[in-house]
Structure 1
Amino acid sequence: MTTSVETDLAGLATATGVPGAQFAVRLGGRTAVSRHGDGIADDTAFPLGSLTKPFTAALAMLLVDDGDLHLDERLPQGWTLRQLLTHTSGLASNIDEDAEHTSDRRAWVARHCGAADLVHRPGSAFSYSNVGYTVVGQLVEDATGMSWEDAVTSILLRPLGVEPAFVGGPAAARPVAVGHSFGGTRIEEQSAIPVEAPNGGLALSAADLVAFAASCVDDLAPMFVDQVADLPIGPYGIADGWGLGWAAYRDWFGHDGSGDGTSCHLRTDPRTGDVVALTTNSATGRDLWERLLRTLDVDVPDHPTPSSPPVPGHGPTACVGRFANGPLDLTVVRHADGGLATTTGDRLEFLGELRFVLTGSTRFDGRFLRDPRSGEIDLLQVTGRLARRYDKDK
């Protein structure tokens, strides 16, 4: 199996413009690890981006098991830890990059995560939130008396034999891959906001990802249960459901993450313990991931895709307007050719029933949603994030 995996990785990485990658596959209890690229070793760490989130969730769940945190205790701001882990807290999707930043998560959360900042009522809908995992990091720090970095290292990773690297943290004791843009330009430094480390600050190898996923299957099985199946607004376009920190793809669970010129991917089947992980140092890493999945003997599900082709037409006029979620701000306008587009130049190709594909440098599945009482379009959901119609005159 190792020879086949190595051959596929080298050839497909070259075809997709990925300078360096690691591919780790655990099937039937056996693990094969391969690597590609100059300077890429088995222990090279790759910035994980949002793939950090399952680690923060697992750390929180270990603290729940110890009685230091509680899944369903309502916190003063109105949400629960379960809601934070499943992106149903109502918190904004992203941290404003222009806002004042600090490594003091408690101070940041106190200033920016009040009830007035919610996009929806906690527990009522799914809306992917980086901010929510910043809050989880703060809860971990309060419960342990340690920084999130120290807690995730000593409580979660060192027991697995893993010594992590951190984006924007102290100098790592292991090599860290340098990212590459779509054009292949090296990106020497990752942009890192210290307060965001719990939602995007880890750097690990593909073998580390496999070890982590296998440990979760063995010791934290409750994480792999869909928590949002009964919600009227779920994670449309990015997953089939969501567990405690893990996205659900049919019967598999996983997460993806991208940094500045990196793309990393992880899937596990909790029924069998099978795991597939890819780390890459290129923005084109998703192309490599999709091609590698097709080479495996096991069916590893990925993001759901719309089953219907675009519907001829220009899209409903009722969709024109401004939609916001924290710093995420999208204005939909009527294009000169009659179709709909955002003011940033992305086009909306409608699939029917208010579903669309947002096309630009990349393609994202999205939809508009109606207020169940008034019937008016009041929400836009894209990449799992909800944006509410915004009227500056009100």
Structure 2
Amino acid sequence: MEARHLASLLGELADTHAVPGAQLAVYTGAETVSAVAGFECYGEPRAVDPRTPFAYGSVSKVFAATLVLQLVSDGDLELDEPVCEVLAEFRDPADARLASITPRQLLSHTSGLVADHELDDPDERSLLRYATSVARLPLLDRPGNSFSYSNTGYNILGRLVEEVTALKWRDALQDFLLRPLGVDPYIDHSPERPARPLAKGHAVRPGQRAARPVEQFLPPTWTPAGGLNGSAEELISLARLHLGTDPRTAALLEDEQRAEMRTAVAGADAFGMADAWALGLGHYGSADNRWLGHDGTVDGGTAHLRFHPESGVAVALTTNATTGSSLWPAVVGELRTLGIHVGDYEPGVPAPHPAASAADPRDLEPLVGDYGNGDTVFSIRRHHDGIRLSDRTGLVADVTVQDSLNFTARRIDTDAAPYTGRFVRDGGTGAIALLQLAGRCAKRIHAAA
């Protein structure tokens, strides 16, 4: 694979999808080929280079999970021992079931914790105080019963790391993983400023090409779940650790723990996100072409990581726009034409539900209502002849429903790929009980008035 051809490909696709700047890195099993396109900020002259840090968002969780498995490898943690054995704040929780949560459940999003718990003080930095607050919350579901994507759970893993290592989260991550691996991602809320200017995030409105810079804010207590910023090449370094092709692999992560991270967890049905879920890694693609990795979405940016244990190939893409979510599948498609059959989650875009027509709008009424997951409340309301989804953060999306009750939700404010979800009926009553969106479960609170 030629770097020049990869750069031309990325440049054309980034332009098509109105992405101001991007990095693409491909590890072929023998070498890493990199390409960059565009600018760090729309309308400014500083071009993206291979070292420009982009926000990783939730791809940061792969680093967090790797660090936890390092501690397991060292004998400092047990995957199936309740975290209350380490964290005193979980020993007398408001919901008694919380005391049984294990690291394996936190890593696989099967802990039952709410998705996105935030503290009242947005500047709070203490993971101890964060964990104490989480211990006062009710669970969404009993631990181990179902998959529901949880940033909260990964922030608790950060607290667990602090208690085991007697170090602050960022120091433990740097000392145990980042520096030994030879990478230098910038960690949000670090005392020092990043040595390399960060790529600015952008929103792109539907039908427009102009990109609007947006602020990227992450609460300090969410750093374990999504607080790393780095390059696509640095993501390839992490992938090579998991592939076992990095010369430092033996010293950093034993084969047993690498295999453990790749193994799908029973009951971790990651509908809307991936084909299965393991410990910090999603499974993507068919059973005979299974890739591992993670996706990340932040305010005005995306990141994507995939690696294939059988062939030893890895791919990473970073972008500084909401439209990075549509650039990624385009990149995947072009790489497949080059013989790199990257695995990706492809739930398909549903055809409109018959109730979307004005002829019989009553079929949509059972779906209308509010659905809650901790502090997050999704509202489904009638809009013209269909339904629209919104939440308290300003998300507004038009919903297209199938007869199967699967749906897509396409945002009205940015030109980004649609979210995938489904409505789930109660097994006893047949009434709509859950909304699953992008891997998160939300319980039906009440029907709309």
Moved more, 325-334 or 260-269: 325-334
Tell me how far 1:197 sits from its aligned partner.
0.2
Tell me how far 1:355 sits from its aligned partner.
1.6
The alignment partner of 1:11 has SS state of helix
Matches within 5 A, 1:123-138: 123-138=144-159
Does the aligned pair in 2 maintain the 1:333–1:342 contact within 8 Å?
A: yes
**Cα pair distance change 1:238/1:106, threshold 3 Å:** same
Tell me how far 1:348 sits from its aligned partner.
2.7
Does the aligned pair in 2 maintain the 1:47–1:167 contact within 8 Å?
A: no
376, 381, 390: which one pairs with 2:436? 381
Say whether residues 1:227 and 2:265 are aligned partners: yes
Q: Could you tell me how far apart the structure 2 residues matched to 1:18 and 1:342 are? A: 26
Structure-2 residue corresponding to 1:6: 7
The alignment partner of 2:354 has SS state of coil
TM-score under structure 2 length normalisation: 0.81
Q: Could you tell me how far apart the structure 2 residues matched to 1:36 and 1:381 are? A: 35
Does the aligned pair in 1 maintain the 2:83–2:160 contact within 8 Å?
A: no
Structure-1 residue corresponding to 2:405: 354
Say whether residues 1:310 and 2:352 are aligned partners: yes
Structure-1 residue corresponding to 2:424: 369
Moved more, 134-143 or 178-187: 178-187
The alignment partner of 1:210 has SS state of helix
Q: Could you tell me how far apart the structure 2 residues matched to 1:336 and 1:5 are? A: 45
Q: Could you tell me how far apart the structure 1 residues matched to 2:404 and 2:102 are? A: 33
Say whether residues 1:328 and 2:376 are aligned partners: yes
Q: Could you tell me how far apart the structure 1 residues matched to 2:102 and 2:119 are? A: 26
Tell me how far 1:257 sits from its aligned partner.
1.0
Matches within 5 A, 1:121-160: 121-160=142-181
Q: Could you tell me how far apart the structure 2 residues matched to 1:329 and 1:223 are? A: 32
Does the aligned pair in 1 maintain the 2:349–2:408 contact within 8 Å?
A: no
Q: Could you tell me how far apart the structure 1 residues matched to 2:240 and 2:164 are? A: 25
The alignment partner of 2:334 has SS state of coil
Alignment deviations for residues 203-230 of structure 1 (CA, whole Å, 9 cap, x no partner): 11111000101102224232111114x4
Does the aligned pair in 1 maintain the 2:53–2:186 contact within 8 Å?
A: yes
Tell me how far 1:308 sits from its aligned partner.
5.0
Alignment deviations for residues 41-66 of structure 1 (CA, whole Å, 9 cap, x no partner): 22211111111011100000000111
Structure-1 residue corresponding to 2:106: 84
244, 251, 258: which one pairs with 2:297? 258
Tell me how far 1:97 sits from its aligned partner.
6.8
Q: Could you tell me how far apart the structure 2 residues matched to 1:278 and 1:100 are? A: 30
Tell me how far 1:19 sits from its aligned partner.
2.1
**Cα pair distance change 1:334/1:9, threshold 3 Å:** closer
Does the aligned pair in 2 maintain the 1:167–1:190 contact within 8 Å?
A: no
Q: Which runs of 5+ in 1 are unaligned?
A: none
Structure-2 residue corresponding to 1:342: 389
Q: Could you tell me how far apart the structure 2 residues matched to 1:99 and 1:130 are? A: 17
The alignment partner of 1:346 has SS state of strand
Does the aligned pair in 2 maintain the 1:238–1:303 contact within 8 Å?
A: yes
Say whether residues 1:200 and 2:226 are aligned partners: yes
Does the aligned pair in 1 maintain the 2:122–2:219 contact within 8 Å?
A: no
Structure-2 residue corresponding to 1:181: 203
Structure-1 residue corresponding to 2:88: none
**Cα pair distance change 1:310/1:160, threshold 3 Å:** same
Tell me how far 1:373 sits from its aligned partner.
3.0
State the number of aligned residues: 387
The alignment partner of 1:162 has SS state of coil
Residue identity opposite 1:26 in structure 2: Y
Moved more, 90-99 or 215-224: 90-99
Residue identity opposite 2:213 in structure 1: R
Structure-1 residue corresponding to 2:330: 291
Does the aligned pair in 2 maintain the 1:91–1:113 contact within 8 Å?
A: no
Tell me how far 1:263 sits from its aligned partner.
1.3
Does the aligned pair in 2 maintain the 1:221–1:270 contact within 8 Å?
A: no
Tell me how far 1:3 sits from its aligned partner.
1.7
Does the aligned pair in 1 maintain the 2:370–2:380 contact within 8 Å?
A: yes
Moved more, 145-154 or 33-42: 33-42
Moved more, 173-182 or 128-137: 173-182
Residue identity opposite 1:332 in structure 2: I
Tell me how far 1:176 sits from its aligned partner.
2.0
Structure-1 residue corresponding to 2:93: none
Moved over 4 A (4+): 97-101
The alignment partner of 2:113 has SS state of coil
Residue identity opposite 1:224 in structure 2: R
CA RMSD of aligned residues (A): 2.1
Residue identity opposite 1:146 in structure 2: L
The alignment partner of 2:160 has SS state of helix
TM-score under structure 1 length normalisation: 0.92
